Structure 1
Protein backbone atom coordinates (compact mmCIF):
# COMPACT_ATOMS: atom_id res chain seq x y z
CA UNK A 1 0.00 0.00 0.00
CA UNK A 2 2.89 2.36 0.67
CA UNK A 3 4.04 2.08 -2.95
CA UNK A 4 0.56 3.08 -4.16
CA UNK A 5 0.55 6.22 -2.01
CA UNK A 6 4.02 7.21 -3.15
CA UNK A 7 3.12 6.86 -6.82
CA UNK A 8 -0.27 8.60 -6.72
CA UNK A 9 0.13 11.35 -4.18
CA UNK A 10 -1.57 14.71 -4.55
CA UNK A 11 1.50 16.41 -6.01
CA UNK A 12 1.77 13.78 -8.76
CA UNK A 13 -1.95 14.09 -9.48
CA UNK A 14 -1.67 17.87 -9.88
CA UNK A 15 1.42 17.59 -12.07
CA UNK A 16 -0.33 15.04 -14.23
CA UNK A 17 -3.33 17.36 -14.61
CA UNK A 18 -1.14 20.33 -15.49
CA UNK A 19 0.79 18.32 -18.07
CA UNK A 20 -2.51 17.07 -19.54
CA UNK A 21 -3.64 20.66 -20.02
CA UNK A 22 -0.26 21.63 -21.48
CA UNK A 23 -0.37 18.67 -23.89
CA UNK A 24 -3.82 19.78 -25.03
CA UNK A 25 -2.70 23.37 -25.64
CA UNK A 26 0.54 22.38 -27.40
CA UNK A 27 -1.40 19.99 -29.63
CA UNK A 28 -3.75 22.79 -30.65
CA UNK A 29 -1.22 25.61 -31.06
CA UNK A 30 0.69 25.66 -33.32
CA UNK A 31 -0.67 23.12 -35.78
CA UNK A 32 1.67 22.99 -38.75
CA UNK A 33 0.08 21.14 -41.71
CA UNK A 34 2.21 18.36 -43.21
CA UNK A 35 0.45 18.41 -46.58
CA UNK A 36 -0.64 14.80 -46.09
CA UNK A 37 -3.77 15.47 -44.07
CA UNK A 38 -1.99 15.49 -40.74
CA UNK A 39 -0.29 18.23 -38.80
CA UNK A 40 2.78 18.67 -36.66
CA UNK A 41 2.53 19.91 -33.09
CA UNK A 42 4.55 19.92 -29.86
CA UNK A 43 1.98 18.09 -27.73
CA UNK A 44 3.67 14.70 -27.99
CA UNK A 45 6.80 16.03 -26.32
CA UNK A 46 4.72 16.55 -23.17
CA UNK A 47 3.80 12.86 -23.25
CA UNK A 48 7.53 12.09 -23.09
CA UNK A 49 7.98 14.44 -20.12
CA UNK A 50 5.00 13.02 -18.21
CA UNK A 51 5.95 9.42 -18.95
CA UNK A 52 9.63 9.80 -18.12
CA UNK A 53 9.17 11.67 -14.85
CA UNK A 54 5.72 10.71 -13.54
CA UNK A 55 5.41 7.17 -14.86
CA UNK A 56 3.43 5.13 -17.37
CA UNK A 57 0.00 5.79 -15.87
CA UNK A 58 0.42 9.56 -15.92
CA UNK A 59 1.98 9.33 -19.38
CA UNK A 60 -1.07 7.41 -20.59
CA UNK A 61 -3.46 9.94 -19.04
CA UNK A 62 -1.59 12.91 -20.51
CA UNK A 63 -1.53 11.31 -23.94
CA UNK A 64 -5.08 10.01 -23.95
CA UNK A 65 -6.94 12.88 -22.30
CA UNK A 66 -4.79 15.81 -23.43
CA UNK A 67 -4.69 14.88 -27.10
CA UNK A 68 -8.30 13.68 -27.30
CA UNK A 69 -9.45 16.93 -25.76
CA UNK A 70 -7.40 18.82 -28.37
CA UNK A 71 -9.08 16.79 -31.13
CA UNK A 72 -12.51 17.68 -29.75
CA UNK A 73 -11.70 21.37 -29.29
CA UNK A 74 -10.21 21.76 -32.79
CA UNK A 75 -13.07 20.03 -34.59
CA UNK A 76 -11.38 16.67 -35.25
CA UNK A 77 -13.97 14.86 -33.15
CA UNK A 78 -13.88 11.76 -35.32
CA UNK A 79 -10.30 11.18 -34.14
CA UNK A 80 -10.97 11.63 -30.40
CA UNK A 81 -11.49 7.93 -29.61
CA UNK A 82 -8.60 6.63 -31.75
CA UNK A 83 -6.38 9.36 -30.32
CA UNK A 84 -7.41 8.42 -26.78
CA UNK A 85 -6.32 4.83 -27.37
CA UNK A 86 -3.21 5.50 -29.48
CA UNK A 87 -1.73 8.34 -27.43
CA UNK A 88 -2.62 6.55 -24.21
CA UNK A 89 -0.71 3.46 -25.37
CA UNK A 90 2.15 5.69 -26.48
CA UNK A 91 2.39 7.36 -23.07
CA UNK A 92 2.20 4.04 -21.24
CA UNK A 93 4.92 2.47 -23.41
CA UNK A 94 7.25 5.44 -23.01
CA UNK A 95 6.69 5.42 -19.26
CA UNK A 96 7.43 1.71 -19.00
CA UNK A 97 10.75 2.26 -20.76
CA UNK A 98 11.89 5.58 -19.28
CA UNK A 99 10.36 6.02 -15.82
CA UNK A 100 13.10 5.87 -13.15
CA UNK A 101 15.47 4.39 -15.71
CA UNK A 102 16.42 7.20 -18.11
CA UNK A 103 19.28 6.61 -20.54
CA UNK A 104 19.95 7.47 -24.17
CA UNK A 105 19.42 3.86 -25.20
CA UNK A 106 16.07 3.64 -23.40
CA UNK A 107 15.04 7.00 -24.88
CA UNK A 108 15.74 5.65 -28.38
CA UNK A 109 13.81 2.47 -27.56
CA UNK A 110 10.85 4.54 -26.36
CA UNK A 111 11.02 6.70 -29.48
CA UNK A 112 10.91 3.64 -31.74
CA UNK A 113 8.03 2.16 -29.71
CA UNK A 114 6.06 5.39 -30.03
CA UNK A 115 6.74 5.51 -33.79
CA UNK A 116 5.29 2.04 -34.22
CA UNK A 117 2.29 2.68 -31.96
CA UNK A 118 1.34 6.01 -33.52
CA UNK A 119 2.00 5.12 -37.17
CA UNK A 120 0.25 1.75 -37.12
CA UNK A 121 -2.45 3.01 -34.76
CA UNK A 122 -3.57 5.89 -36.94
CA UNK A 123 -3.24 3.78 -40.09
CA UNK A 124 -5.53 1.13 -38.57
CA UNK A 125 -7.95 3.77 -37.25
CA UNK A 126 -8.24 5.51 -40.61
CA UNK A 127 -8.93 2.36 -42.66
CA UNK A 128 -12.60 2.08 -41.63
CA UNK A 129 -13.02 5.86 -41.90
CA UNK A 130 -11.44 6.49 -45.29
CA UNK A 131 -10.28 3.20 -46.82
CA UNK A 132 -6.78 1.79 -47.18
CA UNK A 133 -5.55 4.12 -49.91
CA UNK A 134 -6.37 7.30 -47.97
CA UNK A 135 -5.28 5.77 -44.65
CA UNK A 136 -1.89 5.05 -46.21
CA UNK A 137 -1.25 8.81 -46.11
CA UNK A 138 -0.96 8.49 -42.32
CA UNK A 139 2.07 6.27 -42.94
CA UNK A 140 3.76 9.49 -44.09
CA UNK A 141 2.22 12.11 -41.80
CA UNK A 142 2.61 10.11 -38.56
CA UNK A 143 6.40 9.69 -38.90
CA UNK A 144 6.73 13.41 -39.68
CA UNK A 145 4.87 14.23 -36.45
CA UNK A 146 6.90 11.59 -34.61
CA UNK A 147 10.20 13.11 -35.75
CA UNK A 148 9.16 16.56 -34.53
CA UNK A 149 8.18 15.12 -31.15
CA UNK A 150 11.36 13.10 -30.74
CA UNK A 151 13.58 16.06 -31.58
CA UNK A 152 11.73 18.32 -29.12
CA UNK A 153 11.76 15.60 -26.46
CA UNK A 154 15.44 14.85 -27.02
CA UNK A 155 16.11 18.45 -26.00
CA UNK A 156 13.57 18.82 -23.18
CA UNK A 157 13.78 15.47 -21.34
CA UNK A 158 17.57 15.44 -20.73
CA UNK A 159 17.46 19.01 -19.42
CA UNK A 160 14.68 18.16 -16.98
CA UNK A 161 16.48 14.95 -16.04
CA UNK A 162 19.63 16.92 -15.20
CA UNK A 163 17.73 19.21 -12.82
CA UNK A 164 15.08 16.76 -11.63
CA UNK A 165 16.21 16.74 -7.99
CA UNK A 166 16.28 20.54 -7.85
CA UNK A 167 12.72 20.74 -9.16
CA UNK A 168 11.45 17.91 -6.98
CA UNK A 169 10.88 15.12 -9.49
Structure 2
Protein backbone atom coordinates (compact mmCIF):
# COMPACT_ATOMS: atom_id res chain seq x y z
CA UNK A 1 0.00 0.00 0.00
CA UNK A 2 1.44 3.37 -0.99
CA UNK A 3 2.04 6.17 1.47
CA UNK A 4 -0.73 8.22 -0.11
CA UNK A 5 -3.32 5.52 0.62
CA UNK A 6 -2.02 4.99 4.14
CA UNK A 7 -2.28 8.71 4.82
CA UNK A 8 -5.79 8.81 3.36
CA UNK A 9 -6.89 5.91 5.59
CA UNK A 10 -5.27 7.51 8.62
CA UNK A 11 -7.04 10.81 7.96
CA UNK A 12 -10.39 9.09 7.47
CA UNK A 13 -9.85 6.98 10.60
CA UNK A 14 -9.32 10.19 12.55
CA UNK A 15 -12.38 11.71 10.92
CA UNK A 16 -14.48 8.67 11.79
CA UNK A 17 -13.18 8.72 15.39
CA UNK A 18 -14.22 12.38 15.69
CA UNK A 19 -17.62 11.72 14.11
CA UNK A 20 -18.19 8.77 16.47
CA UNK A 21 -17.29 10.91 19.49
CA UNK A 22 -19.49 13.82 18.39
CA UNK A 23 -22.29 11.46 17.35
CA UNK A 24 -22.47 10.00 20.85
CA UNK A 25 -22.03 13.36 22.56
CA UNK A 26 -24.72 15.13 20.55
CA UNK A 27 -27.42 12.48 20.59
CA UNK A 28 -27.81 10.01 23.41
CA UNK A 29 -30.89 8.89 25.27
CA UNK A 30 -30.23 7.38 28.72
CA UNK A 31 -32.20 4.33 29.81
CA UNK A 32 -32.72 2.91 33.29
CA UNK A 33 -30.87 -0.34 33.98
CA UNK A 34 -29.94 -2.69 36.78
CA UNK A 35 -26.28 -2.70 35.72
CA UNK A 36 -24.38 0.24 34.28
CA UNK A 37 -25.76 3.43 32.74
CA UNK A 38 -26.76 2.43 29.20
CA UNK A 39 -28.04 4.82 26.58
CA UNK A 40 -29.16 4.81 22.99
CA UNK A 41 -26.60 6.30 20.59
CA UNK A 42 -25.15 6.01 17.07
CA UNK A 43 -21.56 5.22 18.05
CA UNK A 44 -21.81 1.55 17.12
CA UNK A 45 -23.50 2.35 13.81
CA UNK A 46 -20.68 4.74 12.92
CA UNK A 47 -18.05 2.22 14.04
CA UNK A 48 -19.58 -0.42 11.75
CA UNK A 49 -19.43 2.03 8.83
CA UNK A 50 -15.81 2.89 9.65
CA UNK A 51 -14.84 -0.79 9.57
CA UNK A 52 -16.73 -1.42 6.34
CA UNK A 53 -14.93 1.45 4.62
CA UNK A 54 -11.48 1.35 6.20
CA UNK A 55 -11.05 -2.31 7.08
CA UNK A 56 -10.39 -3.90 10.44
CA UNK A 57 -7.27 -2.05 11.62
CA UNK A 58 -8.18 1.54 10.87
CA UNK A 59 -11.89 0.98 11.49
CA UNK A 60 -11.25 -0.67 14.88
CA UNK A 61 -8.91 2.17 15.81
CA UNK A 62 -11.54 4.77 14.86
CA UNK A 63 -14.21 2.99 16.90
CA UNK A 64 -11.96 2.38 19.90
CA UNK A 65 -10.74 5.98 19.95
CA UNK A 66 -14.16 7.58 19.40
CA UNK A 67 -16.06 5.36 21.84
CA UNK A 68 -13.23 5.13 24.38
CA UNK A 69 -12.60 8.87 24.40
CA UNK A 70 -16.29 9.53 24.95
CA UNK A 71 -16.28 7.17 27.94
CA UNK A 72 -13.16 8.72 29.45
CA UNK A 73 -14.49 12.28 29.15
CA UNK A 74 -18.08 11.57 30.24
CA UNK A 75 -17.90 9.71 33.54
CA UNK A 76 -17.35 6.18 32.25
CA UNK A 77 -13.54 6.13 32.63
CA UNK A 78 -13.53 3.11 34.94
CA UNK A 79 -15.06 0.95 32.24
CA UNK A 80 -13.65 2.63 29.13
CA UNK A 81 -11.32 -0.33 28.65
CA UNK A 82 -14.38 -2.57 28.23
CA UNK A 83 -15.76 -0.23 25.58
CA UNK A 84 -12.47 -0.37 23.68
CA UNK A 85 -12.50 -4.18 23.80
CA UNK A 86 -16.13 -4.21 22.62
CA UNK A 87 -15.21 -1.91 19.70
CA UNK A 88 -12.36 -4.19 18.65
CA UNK A 89 -14.55 -7.32 18.84
CA UNK A 90 -17.29 -5.53 16.87
CA UNK A 91 -14.73 -4.50 14.25
CA UNK A 92 -13.37 -8.05 13.97
CA UNK A 93 -16.83 -9.53 13.40
CA UNK A 94 -17.87 -6.85 10.90
CA UNK A 95 -14.60 -7.23 9.01
CA UNK A 96 -14.81 -11.04 8.93
CA UNK A 97 -18.44 -11.13 7.77
CA UNK A 98 -17.88 -8.41 5.18
CA UNK A 99 -14.83 -10.30 3.90
CA UNK A 100 -16.82 -13.58 3.73
CA UNK A 101 -19.38 -11.76 1.58
CA UNK A 102 -16.57 -10.55 -0.74
CA UNK A 103 -16.94 -6.88 0.27
CA UNK A 104 -20.07 -6.70 -1.84
CA UNK A 105 -21.47 -3.18 -1.60
CA UNK A 106 -23.92 -3.58 -4.47
CA UNK A 107 -26.31 -6.00 -2.77
CA UNK A 108 -28.42 -4.56 0.02
CA UNK A 109 -29.14 -8.05 1.40
CA UNK A 110 -25.44 -8.69 2.04
CA UNK A 111 -25.10 -5.34 3.80
CA UNK A 112 -28.03 -6.27 6.05
CA UNK A 113 -26.27 -9.56 6.86
CA UNK A 114 -23.17 -7.62 7.95
CA UNK A 115 -25.22 -5.26 10.11
CA UNK A 116 -27.21 -8.16 11.59
CA UNK A 117 -23.98 -9.91 12.60
CA UNK A 118 -22.79 -6.63 14.14
CA UNK A 119 -26.03 -6.31 16.10
CA UNK A 120 -25.81 -9.84 17.44
CA UNK A 121 -22.19 -9.44 18.54
CA UNK A 122 -23.05 -6.10 20.16
CA UNK A 123 -25.74 -7.80 22.26
CA UNK A 124 -23.28 -10.51 23.31
CA UNK A 125 -20.46 -8.09 24.16
CA UNK A 126 -22.84 -5.75 26.00
CA UNK A 127 -24.05 -8.65 28.11
CA UNK A 128 -20.45 -9.67 28.85
CA UNK A 129 -19.55 -6.08 29.72
CA UNK A 130 -22.57 -5.87 32.01
CA UNK A 131 -21.44 -9.01 33.82
CA UNK A 132 -17.92 -7.63 34.28
CA UNK A 133 -19.23 -4.26 35.48
CA UNK A 134 -21.50 -5.96 38.03
CA UNK A 135 -18.64 -8.13 39.25
CA UNK A 136 -16.44 -5.02 39.55
CA UNK A 137 -18.86 -3.56 42.11
CA UNK A 138 -18.93 -6.76 44.15
CA UNK A 139 -22.01 -8.73 43.09
CA UNK A 140 -22.04 -12.50 42.82
CA UNK A 141 -21.76 -14.12 39.41
CA UNK A 142 -25.41 -15.25 39.38
CA UNK A 143 -26.66 -11.74 40.20
CA UNK A 144 -24.26 -10.24 37.64
CA UNK A 145 -25.49 -12.55 34.86
CA UNK A 146 -29.15 -11.82 35.58
CA UNK A 147 -28.60 -8.08 36.11
CA UNK A 148 -26.61 -7.77 32.89
CA UNK A 149 -29.34 -9.55 30.96
CA UNK A 150 -32.04 -7.26 32.29
CA UNK A 151 -29.95 -4.23 31.26
CA UNK A 152 -29.73 -5.11 27.55
CA UNK A 153 -32.56 -2.84 26.34
CA UNK A 154 -30.21 -0.05 25.17
CA UNK A 155 -27.95 -2.57 23.40
CA UNK A 156 -30.98 -4.12 21.70
CA UNK A 157 -32.24 -0.74 20.50
CA UNK A 158 -28.74 0.21 19.29
CA UNK A 159 -28.42 -3.16 17.50
CA UNK A 160 -31.77 -2.76 15.73
CA UNK A 161 -30.91 0.83 14.76
CA UNK A 162 -27.57 -0.32 13.34
CA UNK A 163 -29.27 -3.16 11.46
CA UNK A 164 -31.61 -0.69 9.77
CA UNK A 165 -29.33 2.32 9.31
CA UNK A 166 -25.93 0.88 8.30
CA UNK A 167 -26.92 -0.68 4.94
CA UNK A 168 -28.89 2.35 3.85
CA UNK A 169 -26.23 4.90 4.83
CA UNK A 170 -23.49 2.71 3.34
CA UNK A 171 -25.28 2.50 -0.01
CA UNK A 172 -25.99 6.25 0.00
CA UNK A 173 -22.31 7.00 0.63
CA UNK A 174 -21.30 4.61 -2.17
CA UNK A 175 -23.63 6.46 -4.53
CA UNK A 176 -21.94 9.71 -3.45
CA UNK A 177 -18.55 8.27 -4.41
CA UNK A 178 -17.29 6.89 -1.09
CA UNK A 179 -16.65 3.28 -2.02
CA UNK A 180 -14.48 0.79 -0.17
CA UNK A 181 -12.19 0.58 -3.20
CA UNK A 182 -11.37 4.24 -2.76
CA UNK A 183 -9.75 3.46 0.59
CA UNK A 184 -8.38 0.00 -0.20
CA UNK A 185 -6.59 -0.10 -3.56
Give the TM-score band, short-chain normalised.
0.7 to 0.9
Q: From 14, 17, 28, give the equivalent of 1:17.
A: 14
Which residue is 1:34 aligned to? 31
Deviation at 1:129, TM superposition (A): 1.1
Distance in 2 (CA, whole Å) between partners of 1:116 and 1:6 is 37
Deviation at 1:95, TM superposition (A): 2.2
| Residues paired across the two proteins, number | 165
Query: Is 1:88 aligned to residue 96 of structure 2?
Result: no
Q: TM-score w.r.t. structure 1 length?
A: 0.81
Q: How does 1:43-122 map to 2 (within 5 A)?
A: 43-98=43-98, 100-102=103-105, 103=110, 104-120=112-128, 122=129
Is the 8 Å Cα contact of residues 32 and 41 (structure 1) preserved in structure 2? yes
Render the CA deviation track for 1:135-154: whole Å, top value 9, x for unaligned.
Answer: 64332334523422432452
Pick the structure with greater CA Rg.
2
Is the 8 Å Cα contact of residues 90 and 114 (structure 1) preserved in structure 2? yes
Unaligned regions of 5+ residues in structure 1, if any? none
Is the 8 Å Cα contact of residues 59 and 91 (structure 2) preserved in structure 1? yes
Render the CA deviation track for 1:62-99: whole Å, top value 9, x for unaligned.
Answer: 22111110011102110111111112211222122125
Q: TM-score w.r.t. structure 2 length?
A: 0.74
Is the 8 Å Cα contact of residues 118 and 159 (structure 2) preserved in structure 1? no
Judging changes above 3 Å, is the alpha-carbon distance between structure 1 residues 39 and 165 closer, same or farther for their aligned structure 2 residues?
closer
Deviation at 1:34, TM superposition (A): 1.1
Moved over 6 A (4+): none
Q: From 119, 130, 136, give the equivalent of 1:123.
A: 130
Render the CA deviation track for 1:149-169: whole Å, top value 9, x for unaligned.
Answer: 432452243233244153232
Aligned-partner SS, 2:62: helix
Is the 8 Å Cα contact of residues 126 and 135 (structure 1) preserved in structure 2? no
RMSD after superposition: 2.6
Q: From 154, 157, 169, give the equivalent of 1:144.
A: 154
